[in-house]
Amino acid sequence: MMVVIVKGSDEKGSRMVSDAKARMIEGAARLLAEKGLQETSFSEVVALTGAPRGSIYHHFPGGKASLVAQALDFQRSRSLAVIESARGRTAVEVASTFLEAWRRLLLASHFTIGCSAVAVAVAADSDDLLQRSGAVFRGWADLLAELLTLGGVPADAAPGAAALLVAGSEGGVILSRAQSSIEPFEAVAGQLVAHVEALSRPAAD
């Protein structure tokens, strides 16, 4: 979901070092979502974040792969927190919370930013990065299934509903980016919410 770039700090010492690494990780996550894996270079990250160029290999001795891996981990943590915020709500509210995060991302970025995990999944040339992008999707689906079940979706139907939410939202994001319009996403989101709502209804006697 939405990436927030950490601003520079006026403090000295270890705080600045920590901030520089955080900025690079968040900047890489944003660039992955906006430009894709191939265009997410150290030079682009430095230009976006203003991080010291000399600190790149100190923070990421494994090179670009190390930076991308940490960017995916950051995105996974940030997005799981968004989903977790719906714990205890109805299944429809859980689905709506997940979809609203994507809607806000599309609108705030004027349809220029998508999903960093998708960007890596379609272009990764290493098993580690592919597995890390897969872990993002599995994390979303697992948590969504748990919260959907708590929110009223039958336990046997929740994993499928969660997978559909993940896949459908990603497809809606791609369509909206391609058309520079929120309408495709809204159409998909409406169908996804309706599906979850139908699953949540008590079975007729």
Q: Is residue 9 part of a domain?
A: no
- Reply yes or no on whether the pLDDT at 169 is more than 60: yes
| Per-residue pLDDT, 62 | 87
- Reply yes or no on whether the pLDDT at 141 is more than 60: yes
CA dihedral 44, 48, 50, 55 (to 10 degrees): -40
| Per-residue pLDDT, 18 | 59
CATH of the domain at 100: 1.10.357.10
One-letter amino acid identity for 136? V
- Reply yes or no on whether the pLDDT at 2 is more than 60: no
One-letter amino acid identity for 59? H
Q: Helix (H, G, I), strand (E, B), or coil: what is residue 156? A: coil
- CA 19 – CA 27 distance, rounded (Å): 12
- For the chain, what is the domain count? 1
Q: Is residue 126 part of a domain?
A: yes
Q: Is residue 7 part of a domain?
A: no
- Which is nearest to 35 in space by CA: 47, 17, 23? 47
Q: Is residue 1 part of a domain?
A: no
Q: Is residue 182 part of a domain?
A: yes
| Per-residue pLDDT, 58 | 83
- Reply yes or no on whether the pLDDT at 95 is more than 60: yes
Q: Is residue 6 part of a domain?
A: no
| Per-residue pLDDT, 20 | 83
Q: Helix (H, G, I), strand (E, B), or coil: what is residue 2? A: coil
- Reply yes or no on whether the pLDDT at 16 is more than 50: no
Domain interval for residue 161: 14-200
* Cβ-based burial of 88 (10 A; exposed 0-12, middle 13-18, buried ≥19): exposed
Q: Is residue 148 part of a domain?
A: yes
- Which is nearest to 119 in space by CA: 47, 46, 56, 40? 40
Query: Per-residue pLDDT averaged across 164-170, rounded?
Result: 98
- Reply yes or no on whether the pLDDT at 140 is more than 70: yes
- CA 35 – CA 52 distance, rounded (Å): 22
E strand intervals along 101-199:
none
CA 68 to chain centre: 14
pLDDT (tens digit per residue) in 28-78: 999 999 999 988 988 899 889 888 887 788 888 888 999 999 999 999 999
Structure tokens at 189: 């989101």
Q: Is residue 3 part of a domain?
A: no
- Reply yes or no on whether the pLDDT at 123 is more than 60: yes
| Per-residue pLDDT, 14 | 36
- Reply yes or no on whether the pLDDT at 7 is more than 80: no
> CB under 8 Å to 20, separation ≥6 — which residues?
51, 52, 55, 59
